[in-house]
Structure 1
Amino acid sequence: MISAPADTKGFEKKGLDGKVVPFSQGRTLRGSSAINGQVFVANSKPHIDAWAEFGNEGWDWKALAPYYQKFYTLTRPSPEACKHLRLEYIDDAVHATNGPVQASFPEEAEDPLPTAWVDTFAALGYPASGDPFSGEMCGGYINAMSIDPKSRTRSYAVTAYLEPAETRPNLRVITGAIVEKIIFDPSGAIPKAVGVQVEVDGSTTTITVTKEVILAAGAFGTPKVLELSGIGPRRHLESLGINVAVDNPNVGENLQDHPNTSISFEVADGVKTLDPLSRQEPEALEAAMTAYTTEKAGLLATSGTFVGSLIPLPDFVGPDGEDALRQVQSLVEDDAMPGLFSPYHASFVKRALANPCEGVGQVFTYPSCNNVNPEGAGVNILQHGDKSTQKNFCTLVATILYPLGRGSVHITSADPKAKPAIDPRYLEHPADLEILARFLQYFEKIISTEPLSKLIKRNGSRNGAPLDLSDLEVAKTYTKRSCLSCWHATSSCAMLPRERGGVVNSDLLIYGTTGLRIVDSSVIPSATRGNTQTTVYAVAERAADMIKASHGIATN
Structure 2
Amino acid sequence: MEFDYIIIGAGSAGCVLANRLSANPANRVCLLESGPEDRSPLIHAPAGVAAILPTRHVNWAFNTVPQPGLGGRLGYQPRGKTLGGSSSINGMVYIRGHQSDFDEWQALGNPGWSFADVLPYFRKSEMHHAGEGQFHGGTGELYVGKLETHPATQAFVEAAQLAGHRFNPDFNGGEQEGVGPYDVTIRDGRRWSTATAFLKPIRNDRSNLTVMTGAHVERILLQGKRATGVQVTFKGRSQALRARREVLLSAGAFGSPQLLMLSGIGSEAELKAQGITVRHELPGVGQNLQDHPDVVLCYRSSDTSLLGVSARGSLKMGKALADYVRHKRGPLASNFAEGGAFLKTDASLARPDIQLHAVIGMVDNHNRTLHWGHGYSCHVCVLRPKSIGSVGLQSADPAAPPRIDPNFLGHDDDVQTLLKGYRMTREILEQAPMKPLSLKDMYSEGLHSDEQLIDLLRKRTDSIYHPIGTCKMGSDEMAVVDGQLRVHGIEGLRVVDASIMPTLVGGNTNAPTIMIAERAAQWIASA
TM-score range, shorter chain: 0.7 to 0.9
* 1:209 has 2:202 as partner: no
Q: CA RMSD in A?
A: 2.0
How far is the alpha carbon of 1:58 from its aligned partner? 1.3
* 1:393 has 2:426 as partner: no
Which structure 2 residues correspond to residues 252-401 of structure 1 after superposition, within 5 A?
A: 252-267=286-301, 269-270=302-303, 272-276=305-309, 281-313=313-345, 316-317=346-347, 354-355=349-350, 358-372=351-365, 381=367, 383-386=369-372, 390=373, 392-401=374-383
How far is the alpha carbon of 1:21 from its aligned partner? 2.2
Q: What CA distance in whole angstroms lies between the structure 2 residues aligned with 1:119 and 1:304?
A: 18
Q: Is the 8 A contact 2:109 2:475 kept in 1?
A: yes
What is the one-letter code of the residue matched to 1:2? I
* 1:9 has 2:9 as partner: no
* 1:495 has 2:488 as partner: no
Which structure 2 residues correspond to residues 83-94 of structure 1 after superposition, within 5 A?
A: 92-94=133-135
Which structure 2 residues correspond to residues 516-555 of structure 1 after superposition, within 5 A?
A: 516-550=493-527
Q: What CA distance in whole angstroms lies between the structure 1 residues aligned with 2:299 and 2:320?
A: 23
* 1:117 has 2:156 as partner: yes
Q: What CA distance in whole angstroms lies between the structure 2 residues aligned with 1:168 and 1:414?
A: 36
Q: Is the 8 A contact 2:303 2:437 kept in 1?
A: no
Q: Which position in structure 1 is the counterpart of 2:196?
A: 159
How far is the alpha carbon of 1:209 from its aligned partner? 0.9
Q: What CA distance in whole angstroms lies between the structure 1 residues aligned with 2:400 and 2:63?
A: 14
* 1:175 has 2:213 as partner: yes
| Partner secondary structure for residue 186 of structure 2 | coil
Q: Is the 8 A contact 1:275 1:367 kept in 2?
A: no
Q: Is the 8 A contact 2:98 2:507 kept in 1?
A: no
Q: Against the structure 1 CA distance between its residues 523 and 260, is the aligned structure 2 distance closer, same or farther, given a 3 Å change threshold?
A: same
Q: Is the 8 A contact 2:303 2:375 kept in 1?
A: no
Q: Against the structure 1 CA distance between its residues 230 and 447, is the aligned structure 2 distance closer, same or farther, given a 3 Å change threshold?
A: same
Q: Which position in structure 1 is the counterpart of 2:436?
A: 455
How far is the alpha carbon of 1:383 from its aligned partner? 4.2
Q: What CA distance in whole angstroms lies between the structure 2 residues aligned with 1:455 and 1:52?
A: 48
Q: Against the structure 1 CA distance between its residues 207 and 135, is the aligned structure 2 distance closer, same or farther, given a 3 Å change threshold?
A: farther
Q: Against the structure 1 CA distance between its residues 146 and 129, is the aligned structure 2 distance closer, same or farther, given a 3 Å change threshold?
A: closer
Q: Against the structure 1 CA distance between its residues 504 and 135, is the aligned structure 2 distance closer, same or farther, given a 3 Å change threshold?
A: farther
| Partner secondary structure for residue 254 of structure 1 | coil
* 1:100 has 2:141 as partner: yes
Q: What CA distance in whole angstroms lies between the structure 2 residues aligned with 1:95 and 1:228?
A: 40
Q: Which position in structure 2 is the counterpart of 1:42?
A: 96
Q: Against the structure 1 CA distance between its residues 262 and 119, is the aligned structure 2 distance closer, same or farther, given a 3 Å change threshold?
A: same
Q: Is the 8 A contact 1:369 1:382 kept in 2?
A: no
Q: Which position in structure 2 is the counterpart of 1:436?
A: 418
Q: What CA distance in whole angstroms lies between the structure 1 residues aligned with 2:72 and 2:172?
A: 38
Q: Against the structure 1 CA distance between its residues 438 and 468, is the aligned structure 2 distance closer, same or farther, given a 3 Å change threshold?
A: farther
Residues 170-216 of structure 1, C-alpha deviations (whole Å, 9 max, x = no match): 11111212211111111xxxx01111111112222111111110000
Q: What CA distance in whole angstroms lies between the structure 2 residues aligned with 1:49 and 1:196?
A: 35
Q: Which position in structure 2 is the counterpart of 1:222?
A: 256
Q: Against the structure 1 CA distance between its residues 224 and 22, is the aligned structure 2 distance closer, same or farther, given a 3 Å change threshold?
A: same
* TM-score normalised to structure 2 length: 0.85
* TM-score normalised to structure 1 length: 0.81
Q: What CA distance in whole angstroms lies between the structure 2 residues aligned with 1:368 and 1:195?
A: 46
Candidates 78, 82, 89, aligned match of 1:24: 78
Unmatched runs of 5 consecutive residues or more in structure 2: 1-6, 10-32, 35-58
What is the one-letter code of the residue matched to 1:246? H
Q: What CA distance in whole angstroms lies between the structure 2 residues aligned with 1:527 and 1:51?
A: 10
Q: Against the structure 1 CA distance between its residues 401 and 511, is the aligned structure 2 distance closer, same or farther, given a 3 Å change threshold?
A: same
Q: What CA distance in whole angstroms lies between the structure 2 residues aligned with 1:262 and 1:184?
A: 45
Percentage of matched positions with identical amino acids: 30
More strand as a share of residues: 2
Q: Against the structure 1 CA distance between its residues 280 and 15, is the aligned structure 2 distance closer, same or farther, given a 3 Å change threshold?
A: farther
Q: Against the structure 1 CA distance between its residues 60 and 498, is the aligned structure 2 distance closer, same or farther, given a 3 Å change threshold?
A: same
Residues 288-319 of structure 1, C-alpha deviations (whole Å, 9 max, x = no match): 11211222211011210121001111xx24xx
* 1:476 has 2:514 as partner: no
How far is the alpha carbon of 1:270 from its aligned partner? 4.1
Unmatched runs of 5 consecutive residues or more in structure 1: 77-89, 323-353, 373-379, 551-556
Q: What CA distance in whole angstroms lies between the structure 1 residues aligned with 2:169 and 2:488?
A: 39
| Partner secondary structure for residue 207 of structure 2 | coil
How far is the alpha carbon of 1:369 from its aligned partner? 1.7
Structure with higher Rg: it is 1
Q: Against the structure 1 CA distance between its residues 382 and 365, is the aligned structure 2 distance closer, same or farther, given a 3 Å change threshold?
A: farther
Q: What CA distance in whole angstroms lies between the structure 1 residues aligned with 2:482 and 2:196?
A: 30
Alignment size in residue pairs? 472
Q: Is the 8 A contact 1:130 1:137 kept in 2?
A: no
Q: Is the 8 A contact 2:168 2:180 kept in 1?
A: no
How far is the alpha carbon of 1:93 from its aligned partner? 3.0
